[in-house]
Chain A
Amino acid sequence: MTAMLAVENIVQQYPGVRALKGVSLSLDTGRVLALVGENGAGKSTLIRILAGIEQPVEGSLRLRGESLRLTNSAESQAAGISVVSQEFRLVPELSIADNIMLGHELTSGGVVRARNTRNRVQELLSTLGLDLNPDRLVSSLTTGDQQMVEIARALSRDFDVLIMDEPTAALNRAEIGRLHGIVRRLAAQGKAIMYVSHHLDEVFDLCDEVAVLRDGILVHRSETSELDEQALVEHMLGRKPQTFERAVDAAAAGNDPRLVVDGLRVGGFDEPFSLSVGAGEIVGLAGLVGSGRGELTRALFGDRAALAGRISIDGVPVQVRSVAAAISAGIYMLSEDRKSEGILPHLDVTENTMVSRDPKSVSGWRRLVPSRRSERAVFERLRGELSIRVPHGGQLIGNLSGGNQQKVLLGRALQSGCRVLLLNEPTRGVDVGAKLEIYQLIRRLAAQGVAVIVSSSDAPELAAISDRCLVYLAGRQTAELAGPDITEDNIVGASVGQVAVGGTHG
């Protein structure tokens, strides 16, 4: 049987980097192939080649046995390859319907047939289980819904090959379940599907086969059933994974509370938030979209107005009317959206770590004219401590993998001299290897006496790193889990409103 789509000996180079070093891979009809690998392994490059965005330096593509040359994304789409990209390519100012049909509008004589379009889109949305008005503007949607629209857009074309690049990154459990159902149905209809994901449970749950890329080389390909999670991670890393063990540190909980939040009212939520975090403690915040945990961290960071309530650090009341005020009070936050709210893409990694530097750590006029030598030295130290993988401190941050970017941003937080650190989705878009390193970093920060709040939609993550876990549902705390009660099941249960077994009702 000839494969639906095959790439043969693909080589791709960027200035100074060989991204793909001769990769051959085939996709068969009716099969779901998982493509996994750490960030920087070459997955995105391969996808960009299949999408026609980039042309390989060497190698060829075959579609149904026939040689294929793609010079732009329109040709790729015409050949029957549909791509759901990791980054949204939606136009916020257009409606859902217009976005989905963008580039292949239903027209007669150059005029868009609005009613047909609407019906077609409505149909698509309902197969995806989305109850959305097609005339709504994309800018008004939540990230999860935007992701679903992006998927609907890929499905709206005629295609034989579907490539999905981390389609579930912004989706909740129910949506992920629906999406998996759709993927299985498409495979059953004879489509060839390539599915890229960092979530290994998805790989085992959904995919028939798995291919592993490492440093631009295809290192493994087999039926999913022939592997277990351990073996797959070994293939991805090229070594045995380090294990992360939760330090059962009873001392942390006994410490004096470092951050105390009392009756903090945040717009959009009826009940006020109250919590306290001890020095050296890691408190997890869990909850679905709309649980208010994201809004809570932003209110604590002065990025969102708090309507009422008191915040104190080490017993001293603080006012956080602005981000600057929060930082000088010793609070620092990293956003879940690294790209639009974290990195400064035109600045090098050294400058990126220095932008929030605690002014008290620098003397006098050096605050106005920073010493490049001392900044380089500080960055070199951070690079070692945080094991940031960059060739030199002059590297632009935009060229790094998600995990390395996150480490740089953690370095920025360290330099702010914060006593309270708020982390939103600290490992979103971060690969397996870097994830564990980031957990260790967070643990080490806490050990230095920082009060850490981790807000995450990743229940296993919270189970792995938090000393205590607060679960919210629509702004109300439904559970406070501690010690052995912090399990994935308890977190997920409480976030949909079940009273957790063994958890105390908040």
Chain B
Amino acid sequence: MTTTSAITEPEATRTAPTSSVTSTILSFLSHQYLVVVVAVAFIVVGLIKPSFFGAGNVQNILFETAFVGIAACGMVLLITAGLLDLSVAGVIAVSAIAVGMVLPYTNIGLAILLAVVIGAILGLLNGLLVTYVKIAPFIATLGTLYLFLGASFIWTGGNVVTVTSSNFRALTTDSIGFLPYPFLTLIVLALLTYSLLYRTSFGRTLRAMGSNQRAAELAGMRVNQSKVVVFMVAGACFALAGVFMAGRLSSAEANMATGIEMGVIAAVVVGGTSLRGGRGTVFGTVIGAMLFAVLSKSLNMLGVSSYWQYIVTGAVLVIAVAVGARRRSAAEVRGAG
């Protein structure tokens, strides 16, 4: 049984995924086209420019995937719950600067822990604004983005905080084989995110409130509490991305990640998660992050001018989402009614 037969042969009796294993495979396959796109792009560019396959370049792509992907793991939880966070760049800046500032005085583990805690606290602020002050997530987090960025500039006086600890740089940029630590971290984090979303009561509440918040409230689910917590989890993810970026750049500064929120949201959406909430695909999100990393490195390699890179990236984003939407509407049986 394959997904295609289920979609193209309506006469077949209702396809019944008898176990969750099959349904997991089905949802996996229905997003496989993106994997194919990424693989084809990777191979085609490699054939044109053999240096594309060089270990250094592949690692660059994996680093890039990891930074966006780690943040996107937090974002996919938010979007599934019908929420959004635009303050990614602010959270990254504050937590990365914190790491840079405390590293000379403490050990690496504590520094990273501090960064993650700071990320969670900033997420808490977002969550409280959205849940109890009842500001729309888009506006609330746009506001805190500027707040966090402003705080970072004031904290550093606009200067770059250099990360001198070679141990920290090693921990955040070394690799096993050709797989950098940040990328391995992304894999682990993605598995955790998937389990959180689909195996726990908390994840069920997130999907329920993204699907129909009013019904979730009337079912007695703790909607408000979950909103605050998911903003904190997302903030921690963003901070973790900031930790790895600080290691890679050997420095931290206020505008180190400016604009990253759009890349993060794009990765989630291209991966097949609807901005309307209710359902999220973690695997698709990772592939989405990888797509944009491969794309940007390919265009650089091929010598495409940066103006045209915008055009291509934008076109890919639009086409990928359009194709995804078409496939989903074809695969889904009609709604109630």
Contact = CB atoms under 8 A, between A and B. Distances in A.
Interface of A: 13-18, 44, 86-87, 301, 303, 323-324, 326-328, 333, 335, 339-347, 351, 354-356, 367-370, 372, 391-392, 394, 396, 398-400, 402, 405, 412, 416
B199 A369 contact: yes
Nearest to A335: B218
A493 to B, nearest CB: 33
A439 to B, nearest CB: 22
Contacts, number: 118
Nearest to A19: B334
B282 to A, nearest CB: 15
A86 B215 CA distance: 21
B324 interface: no
B23 A16 contact: no
Given A351-B204, A392-B17, A343 B214 contact: no
A13 B11 contact: yes
Contact of B335 (A335, A345, A367, A394): A345
A368 B201 contact: yes
9 contacts: A14-B333, A18-B11, A303-B218, A344-B211, A346-B279, A347-B204, A347-B207, A368-B201, A400-B336
B200 interface: yes
B10 interface: yes
Contact of B214 (A13, A328, A341): A341
B49 interface: no
Interface string B1-15: 000001100111111
Nearest to A355: B219
Contact of B218 (A333, A346, A347): A333
A341 B219 CA distance: 9
Counting chain B CB atoms within 10 Å of each CB, the highest count among A347, A370, A416 belongs to A347
Contact of B215 (A14, A341, A391, A402): A341
Interface in B45-69: none
Interface in B240-295: 278-279
B211 A15 contact: no
Contact of B220 (A17, A327, A351, A405): A327
A344 B211 CA distance: 6
B106 interface: no
Interface of B: 6-7, 10-18, 20, 23, 199-202, 204, 207-208, 210-212, 214-222, 278-279, 330-331, 333-337
A347 B211 contact: yes
Given A341-B218, A344-B212, A356-B219, A367 B201 contact: yes
A14 B333 CA distance: 7
Contact of A17 (B199, B221, B331, B333): B333
A342 B218 CA distance: 8
Contacts of B207: 344, 346-347
B220 A391 contact: no
A490 to B, nearest CB: 32
B64 to A, nearest CB: 31
Contacts of A372: 20, 199
B210 A346 contact: yes
B215 A16 contact: no
Q: 7 nearest interchain CB pairs?
A: A346-B278, A346-B211, A327-B220, A16-B14, A13-B10, A355-B219, A344-B211
Nearest to A54: B334
Contacts of A326: 220
A355 B208 CA distance: 9
A16 B208 CA distance: 26
Contacts of A355: 204, 208, 216, 219-221
A464 to B, nearest CB: 26
A16 B13 contact: yes
A399 B335 contact: yes
A343 B200 CA distance: 20
A356 B199 CA distance: 16
Contact of B217 (A86, A323, A347, A369): A323
A391 B200 contact: no
Contact of B18 (A344, A370, A392, A416): A392
B218 to A, nearest CB: 6
Contacts of B278: 344-346
A16 B16 CA distance: 10
Contacts of B16: 391-392
Nearest to B216: A344
Contacts of A324: 220, 222
B223 to A, nearest CB: 10
A132 B217 CA distance: 33
Contact of B200 (A339, A340, A368, A412): A368
B7 A15 contact: yes
Contacts of A340: 212, 214-215
B336 A17 contact: no
With a 10 A CB-CB cut-off, give which of B23, B204, B215, B221 has the most chain A CB atoms.
Answer: B215
B21 to A, nearest CB: 11
Contacts of A341: 212, 214-215, 218
Contacts of B20: 372, 394
A344 B214 CA distance: 9
Given A343-B336, A345-B335, A369-B201, A391 B14 contact: yes
A394 B17 contact: yes
A267 B105 CA distance: 60
B215 A323 contact: no
